[in-house]
Structure 1
Amino acid sequence: MVVNRAPSHQTQRGAVSLRVILLLFTGALLLLVLAVGFVSSFGYFRSYVSEQLAEHAQDGATAVGLSLSNAIDGRDPVASASLIDAVFDSGHYQSVRYLDLNGEEIAGRVLPMSEMPTPGWFQSLADLDLTPGQAEVVQGWSRLGTVEVVSNPQRAYQDLWRITLGLVIGTLVIGGLGLLVLFLLLTRALRPLRALEQHAKALSQRNFRNRVTAQSTRELNQVTSAMNQMTDDLGRLFDGQGKLIAHLRRVNNEDPITGLSSQRAFDQRLKTEVESEERSAPGVLVLLQLAGFSEYNQTFGRNEANRLLSSMAKSIGAFVAAHAGSFAGRRNGAEFSIYIPGVLPADAKIWCGELLRQLDGLYADLATPMDVAVHAGVAPTGVERGIREMLASADEALRAAQERGDTGCVLSGPDSEGHHNLETWRAIISQAIREQSLVLWMQPMISEGQAEPVYYQVFSRLDGPEVALKASAFVPLAERFGLIADIDRQVVGKVLTHLAREPGRGLAISLGGASVASEAFRDNLLSMLSDAGEERVNLWVGISEHTIHHHRTEAGILVKALVRLGVPVLVDRFGVGGVPFSYLRNLPVQALRIDNTFVHDIDTHDDNRFYVESVLSIAHSRGVKVFATGVETAAEYSVLTELGIDGAMGYHLGRPFVADN
């Protein structure tokens, strides 16, 4: 199976560039003209030399004939032979023969052709016409015979050879200079085309910063100007669409005063985390409230009250950022909610106390001279415990904390609900890494109308003392302990081994934020992928949107390096990072994977449906695929396919299964 990926600009193998075509055509025409000129010149000189040889032979024959007729008795063979020897020894003739009326030779001399100094192939090529010169020998009124003279072609061949060499050298020099000048002219004239090609490639990779500045002919300059204008327009359009999506997300999911999640958005995500079978994992819910906020609002006014809420939200946001996978929201008034996944209730109570002391100090400074307090209730997740039960339990604990008066938090239920402390968890995870006992599970990413899955998402699970723990349970702890890079490295190694055994299957992994931020891990990952060979193109690497936001430079370096290796990259948990959409302009990712928060109950949630539809429109216009996770009902999948999703994953489409390790 070939993994589907977003179309990207690729060099067309076998295609010839315009410059090469023009160079070949014009160069061939130039060489043809020079060849015709050479052949014509050679033929002219050859004819000229042949005529000169014929005239020279005729002159020699006439002179010898007159001598035998008048000065010497042509009937005397000895005298005739002496005259012919004297003429022949001058070296100007190849043969001199005196024939009687019957054609019999009376006297004569002939020069062998083997003594010619020019190459034999050239003689065969030139093949000079050696027309003999003839003259009659008479005595009075009687004819004695005929003299035949053939000129020596040696000098003629030498002259023609020198002329030919001159023609060849001249043709090569003129042709070479002509081709060089032609190459330089075409290179200069077509320089913008190369720049336009690179510009088009940059556009296909959603890079709108490039501009073509090379100038050439009027037509190419107009095309260049149009391309630059289109780039500016696309950049503005992309920014506008990105800002629109960010605005829609803020309007639908963020509290306008604090910037935290709205109550509806928080409850929606909490429901996904707690009730979804795919995402369910241990965690705690914290409800937090500022005591005396109504009095503060009446005393200092609405603007100061809003400033207080904003300051509290910044501290809560810093707390959430320090705990991987956590998220927070404002419910109403001065009440906030925080969810921390993969944490023990006892540890959560300690962290909650630290946060309350920080908030209490900030609140007290702003509310002086009022007496203030901050209260919180903590409720853990549990089997068959939904969002309603958790909220009710946390609210009950909050009321208990408020009854105590002073700042503090109350944990609903016994403090011993956590079976292991942090050190025990650190030992369990470290042992799993050391013994390489992580188990790989897979879940298919299904595409409508495609027989085979787009890829299989790989999850890691840890064999705990009692039950196998999902990644959503132990990964936050591994992040906190600084062990996530070791887990990711082990998962990558096992996945590459699996790809080598089944090269036709596409697999996908998700990297932790600390792994992406680690230069050592990035170098190790790229080295492992380079050694994996061509099978690496079947591995999708997921990086969460939250990681891209907080480690923009490191994520950019890794994404570009992976793309150079041919490894497709997708943005994981898209939509919950709360970051601007514009980062996709400079990151050549192949896909987005929308978080299940926006998928859960999408068939009844119009805002989420509109958000997903908007993301699909923008992503597809940029050549980026969009996948969805957490599809657990037929109604959810029906809406996603109607919107044009490229792939979906969830318990409704295929349950996770153990990979062959």
Structure 2
Amino acid sequence: MAGMLGKRDQQHGVITLQGLLLVFTGGLLVLILTAAFITSFGYFRGYVADQLGDHARDGATATGLSLSNAIDGSDPVAAASLIDAVFDSGRYLSVEYLDHSDSLIAGRRKPLQGTAAPGWFIRLTSLPRPMAEAEVVRGWSRLGKVRVVSHPGRAYDDLWRITVGLLVGVLAIGGAGLVVLHLLLGRILSPLKALEAQARALGQRDFRKRVDIKSTRELNQVTEAMNQMADDLGQLFEGQGKLIQHLRKVNNEDPVTGLASRSAFDQRLRAELESEEKAAPGVLIMIQLGFFVDYNRAYGRSEGDLLLKQIAGCLQRFVKRHTESFAGRRTGAEFAVFLPGASAADVRVWAEELVAELDGLYADHAAPMDTIVHAGLAVTAEGLGSRDLLAAADEALVAAQQRDESCCWLSETGLENHHNMETWRVIISQAIRDRSLSLWLQPMVQGGEQSVVHYQVFSRINSPEGVLKAGLFVPVAERLGLIKDIDRLLIERVLERLASHPGERLAVSLGSASVADPEFRSDLLASLGQAGPLVSRLWVGVAEQTIHHHRKDVSTLVRELVRLGVPVLVDRFGVGGVPFSYLKNLPFRAMRIDNSFIHNLDSHDENRFWLESVLAIARSRGVKVFATGVETAAEYSVLCKLGIDGAMGYHLGRPFAAD
């Protein structure tokens, strides 16, 4: 890419094909017209010079005959009168009557003056001044001779008028010819500009641009070939995107419900709990439909699958209402939902509402059969791994199943470590009012030398309980509608940091509610617009799930950010369930793979193959690929072999306070 930009910069100032043809053809036209002008001018000058010579001879002959026959040439007074009359006609510079010894008998002379032609033109053309002589005789006696020089004033005037007319004609013809030539070349070569724009679009992996302008046969064939190539590349990209989407579904989605498969859910849960930065309080819900085996036996497998799909639809709507939560199918009619950053008391209320909704849906399908829905809740705790949390949720589910009605059962594990929503509201609101938000930076590195690509910005809240990580309060802030205020404060601090550290590059991630809010988007664009060129060093991340739920808002924001020169990346790529084709329609510069795909990458062949496919298609579009959650040397080794553009995690560098 840098090489292409370098070559493009080197081509600045090189004449265009249209300009070259215009200069060559226009120059040829000017040369022809100039030659025609010079030839015509020379012809007219010679013609005028000949006329001057003829006029001088005619004047000398007529004067000589008059002195010879009509007037007595031997009488100086009469001769002088005749010469005065001829001279006063104004058509001669000199008229002289000379004797045998060339002595002047009578004559008149005057300088060249009184012409309409400018002096520089007279000096430039310099017409000859022909002199003619005629004998004066009386009978057989030779009295003398008459010498006449014609006045070239009229000749200069005629030549000046002819020259001006020629020049005006040449300029008019030349100007009209150049204008027509410019328009004609513009019309003929107009597809070239469209082809150039199409080629640049293809270089940026935009295959939607078409050239519909018709011109000459050769250019039409080129445009058809380029359009066909764009179609083929677009279809190839579409096929690659569908393949990657299919691989993701096969490896990570349950084929019946579309929820996360058991292995994918466990992988993501493990990444959430075992990542030091993302580790945060949360609640796991295990849900079981009772008597589902009897339902399947009574109504058949297809009806059972239809019920499971509708149950999954309820769970997906539940997940959408609770930011960063995710759901999966375990086995049969058993489902799991994890809500990060939520308190046990709040989740218990939500779970009871969810169980009531699922029970009503189940009962409507199974009537008149008996139905029941149970849920077990387990709360995260320090030192509690994913297996322990799943086991605690299973135990709570078994306890719920001891009751003969649809209900929830909450495990006692970790209950003392959680705030309820109101307590969180007080903590976060106070932090916003006090502006007690601090920046922590974690390096995104590349290659074996681990050179820094940029720093990912994490926010921290300074509370009476100590410093709270973003993983603790951001999910809660999303639910409470406070994330917009946090993101405003974050952007303000980040811009201050960029201004005071000229060589630094930073990356921030925006909350889903912030992106969906028109007022926040307007404030964000205004702040970045006022910041000037330094915004080119700020990566702005938008989560893939946000793209899924707010496609129109994301599209508007991304295009405006790109217009300002802000590079935009897809955050948490792979868990949003969005068709890969959005990369073709939105100008993202990079994507950041979710840490659930990186966790234990060295031993997870399916994720490694999927990531390799993502890298291939991203490179074909000039999109960088970053990875998060790198916790071991083995994981980073695999990423380096795949050619990742950047990676971050506790193995590569821990977050540090920006201050």
Q: What is the TM-score when the length of structure 2 is the normalising length?
A: 0.93
The answer as to 2:598 corresponding to 1:583 is no
| Counterpart for residue 157 of structure 1 | 156
| Counterpart for residue 495 of structure 1 | 494
- Give the Cα–Cα distance (whole angstroms) in 2 for the partners of residues 474 and 381 of structure 1: 15
| Counterpart for residue 326 of structure 1 | 325
| Counterpart for residue 441 of structure 1 | 440
Is the partner of 1:13 in helix, strand or coil?
coil
| Counterpart for residue 207 of structure 1 | 206
Task: Supply the AA of the counterpart residue of 2:453.
Answer: V
How far is 1:218 from its partner? 1.5
Is the partner of 1:96 in helix, strand or coil?
strand
Is the partner of 2:374 in helix, strand or coil?
strand
Is the partner of 1:543 in helix, strand or coil?
strand
How far is 1:605 from its partner? 0.7
The answer as to 2:425 corresponding to 1:426 is yes
| Counterpart for residue 468 of structure 1 | 467
- Give the Cα–Cα distance (whole angstroms) in 1 for the partners of residues 586 and 8 of structure 2: 17
Choose 157-166 or 208-217, whichever is displaced more.
208-217
| Counterpart for residue 131 of structure 1 | 130
The answer to whether the 8 A contact 2:495-2:531 is kept is yes
Task: Supply the AA of the counterpart residue of 2:31.
Answer: L
| Counterpart for residue 406 of structure 1 | 405
Quick one: structure 1 residues 312 and 551, their matched pair in 2 at CA, closer, same or farther if it must change by over 3 Å?
Answer: same
Task: Supply the AA of the counterpart residue of 1:377.
Answer: G
| Counterpart for residue 285 of structure 1 | 284
- Give the Cα–Cα distance (whole angstroms) in 2 for the partners of residues 82 and 388 of structure 1: 140
Return 5+ residue gaps in structure 1 as ranges.
Answer: none
How far is 1:608 from its partner? 0.6
| Counterpart for residue 596 of structure 1 | 595
The answer to whether the 8 A contact 2:431-2:463 is kept is no
Q: What is the TM-score when the length of structure 1 is the normalising length?
A: 0.93
The answer to whether the 8 A contact 1:206-1:586 is kept is no
How far is 1:298 from its partner? 2.7
| Counterpart for residue 525 of structure 2 | 526
Is the partner of 1:128 in helix, strand or coil?
coil
- Give the Cα–Cα distance (whole angstroms) in 2 for the partners of residues 6 and 191 of structure 1: 24
- Give the Cα–Cα distance (whole angstroms) in 2 for the partners of residues 416 and 632 of structure 1: 28
- Give the Cα–Cα distance (whole angstroms) in 1 for the partners of residues 381 and 17 of structure 2: 68
How far is 1:655 from its partner? 1.9
The answer as to 2:620 corresponding to 1:621 is yes
The answer to whether the 8 A contact 1:99-1:105 is kept is yes
| Counterpart for residue 514 of structure 2 | 515
| Counterpart for residue 242 of structure 2 | 243
The answer to whether the 8 A contact 1:54-1:132 is kept is yes
% identical equivalent positions? 62
| Counterpart for residue 349 of structure 1 | 348
| Counterpart for residue 175 of structure 1 | 174
Choose 484-493 or 632-641, whichever is displaced more.
484-493
| Counterpart for residue 379 of structure 2 | 380
How far is 1:494 from its partner? 2.1
Quick one: structure 1 residues 97 and 328, their matched pair in 2 at CA, closer, same or farther if it must change by over 3 Å?
Answer: same
| Counterpart for residue 36 of structure 1 | 35
| Counterpart for residue 27 of structure 1 | 26
The answer to whether the 8 A contact 2:344-2:418 is kept is no
The answer to whether the 8 A contact 1:346-1:415 is kept is no
The answer as to 2:542 corresponding to 1:551 is no
- Give the Cα–Cα distance (whole angstroms) in 2 for the partners of residues 432 and 488 of structure 1: 13
How far is 1:119 from its partner? 1.8
How far is 1:5 from its partner? 12
- Give the Cα–Cα distance (whole angstroms) in 2 for the partners of residues 383 and 467 of structure 1: 16
How far is 1:419 from its partner? 4.5
- Give the Cα–Cα distance (whole angstroms) in 2 for the partners of residues 653 and 604 of structure 1: 19
Is the partner of 1:190 in helix, strand or coil?
helix
| Counterpart for residue 303 of structure 2 | 304
Is the partner of 2:602 in helix, strand or coil?
coil
The answer as to 2:241 corresponding to 1:254 is no
| Counterpart for residue 270 of structure 1 | 269
Is the partner of 1:456 in helix, strand or coil?
strand
Is the partner of 2:595 in helix, strand or coil?
coil
- Give the Cα–Cα distance (whole angstroms) in 1 for the partners of residues 646 and 199 of structure 2: 28
Is the partner of 1:404 in helix, strand or coil?
coil
Deviations along 1:321-377, one digit per CA (max 9) or x if unpaired, are 111101111111221111111111221112111111111211222222333322222
- Give the Cα–Cα distance (whole angstroms) in 2 for the partners of residues 579 and 118 of structure 1: 83
Choose 263-272 or 80-89, whichever is displaced more.
80-89
- Give the Cα–Cα distance (whole angstroms) in 2 for the partners of residues 70 and 8 of structure 1: 94
Is the partner of 1:640 in helix, strand or coil?
helix
Task: Supply the AA of the counterpart residue of 1:426.
Answer: R
Task: Supply the AA of the counterpart residue of 1:655.
Answer: R
Quick one: structure 1 residues 144 and 411, their matched pair in 2 at CA, closer, same or farther if it must change by over 3 Å?
Answer: farther
Return 5+ residue gaps in structure 2 as ranges.
Answer: none
- Give the Cα–Cα distance (whole angstroms) in 2 for the partners of residues 105 and 604 of structure 1: 127
The answer to whether the 8 A contact 1:603-1:635 is kept is yes
Quick one: structure 1 residues 308 and 107, their matched pair in 2 at CA, closer, same or farther if it must change by over 3 Å?
Answer: same
Quick one: structure 1 residues 158 and 355, their matched pair in 2 at CA, closer, same or farther if it must change by over 3 Å?
Answer: same
| Counterpart for residue 482 of structure 1 | 481
Deviations along 1:123-177, one digit per CA (max 9) or x if unpaired, are 2232222233344556788877654422222211221121112112211222222
- Give the Cα–Cα distance (whole angstroms) in 2 for the partners of residues 280 and 400 of structure 1: 27
Quick one: structure 1 residues 451 and 635, their matched pair in 2 at CA, closer, same or farther if it must change by over 3 Å?
Answer: closer
The answer to whether the 8 A contact 1:61-1:134 is kept is yes
Alignment of 1:536-575 (within 5 A): 536-575=535-574
The answer to whether the 8 A contact 1:482-1:514 is kept is yes
The answer to whether the 8 A contact 1:6-1:590 is kept is no
- Give the Cα–Cα distance (whole angstroms) in 2 for the partners of residues 641 and 587 of structure 1: 27
Task: Supply the AA of the counterpart residue of 1:126.
Answer: T
- Give the Cα–Cα distance (whole angstroms) in 2 for the partners of residues 624 and 7 of structure 1: 16
Deviations along 1:433-479, one digit per CA (max 9) or x if unpaired, are 23322111222221227885222222212113212222222111221
Quick one: structure 1 residues 536 and 149, their matched pair in 2 at CA, closer, same or farther if it must change by over 3 Å?
Answer: farther
- Give the Cα–Cα distance (whole angstroms) in 1 for the partners of residues 382 and 63 of structure 2: 132
Choose 143-152 or 281-290, whichever is displaced more.
143-152
The answer to whether the 8 A contact 1:530-1:565 is kept is yes
- Give the Cα–Cα distance (whole angstroms) in 2 for the partners of residues 126 and 338 of structure 1: 101
- Give the Cα–Cα distance (whole angstroms) in 2 for the partners of residues 494 and 143 of structure 1: 118
How far is 1:643 from its partner? 0.9
The answer to whether the 8 A contact 2:273-2:279 is kept is yes
Number of residue pairs matched by the alignment: 658
How far is 1:223 from its partner? 1.2
| Counterpart for residue 54 of structure 1 | 53
Choose 240-249 or 306-315, whichever is displaced more.
306-315
How far is 1:318 from its partner? 0.8
How far is 1:423 from its partner? 2.1
- Give the Cα–Cα distance (whole angstroms) in 2 for the partners of residues 77 and 518 of structure 1: 116
- Give the Cα–Cα distance (whole angstroms) in 2 for the partners of residues 121 and 538 of structure 1: 65
- Give the Cα–Cα distance (whole angstroms) in 2 for the partners of residues 104 and 628 of structure 1: 115
Task: Supply the AA of the counterpart residue of 1:293.
Answer: F
How far is 1:612 from its partner? 0.5
Deviations along 1:376-401, one digit per CA (max 9) or x if unpaired, are 22222222221122122222222222
The answer to whether the 8 A contact 2:129-2:150 is kept is yes
- Give the Cα–Cα distance (whole angstroms) in 1 for the partners of residues 7 and 468 of structure 2: 42
The answer to whether the 8 A contact 1:6-1:624 is kept is no
- Give the Cα–Cα distance (whole angstroms) in 1 for the partners of residues 6 and 210 of structure 2: 20
Quick one: structure 1 residues 100 and 411, their matched pair in 2 at CA, closer, same or farther if it must change by over 3 Å?
Answer: farther
- Give the Cα–Cα distance (whole angstroms) in 2 for the partners of residues 145 and 499 of structure 1: 107
- Give the Cα–Cα distance (whole angstroms) in 2 for the partners of residues 391 and 281 of structure 1: 16
Quick one: structure 1 residues 399 and 167, their matched pair in 2 at CA, closer, same or farther if it must change by over 3 Å?
Answer: same
Is the partner of 1:428 in helix, strand or coil?
helix
